[in-house]
């Protein structure tokens, strides 16, 4: 697959912005079928978003 299509249609290349992560965390994989053709890494992206935005961080 060429790079341009891969960047546009592969969920693995989605930017981990707050808005994108909010959708990934709260919506299910089927919601992304219309926008992204390749959803192989959806759960991995969900874990990355959860870690980035929903993980408690303690400071001392």
DSSP state of 10: B
Q: What's residue 24's pLDDT?
A: 92
Please report whether residue 60 resides in a domain.
no
Please report whether residue 59 resides in a domain.
no
Please report whether residue 58 resides in a domain.
no
Q: What angle do CA 32, 9, 33 make, to 5 degrees?
A: 20
- What is the span of the domain harbouring residue 38? 3-53
Q: What's residue 1's pLDDT?
A: 55
Pick from 57, 50, 52: nearest CA to 26: 50
Domain count, the chain: 1
User: What secondary structure does DSSP assign to the chain, as a single string?
Assistant: --HHHHHHHBGGG----HHHHHHHHHS-GGGGTTT-SB-TTHHHHHHHHHHHHSS-----
Please report whether residue 43 resides in a domain.
yes
Please report whether residue 37 resides in a domain.
yes
Please report whether residue 19 resides in a domain.
yes
pLDDT digits (tens, 9 = 90+) for 1-59: 588 888 889 999 999 999 999 999 999 999 888 888 889 999 999 999 999 998 777 77
């Amino acid at each position: 697959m060429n790079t341009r299509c891969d960047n546009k249609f592969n969920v693995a290349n989605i930017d981990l912005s707050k808005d994108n992560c909010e959708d990934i965390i709260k919506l299910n994989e089927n919601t992304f079928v219309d926008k992204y053709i390749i959803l192989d890494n959806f759960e991995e992206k969900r874990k990355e978003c959860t870690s980035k935005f929903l993980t408690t961080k303690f400071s001392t």
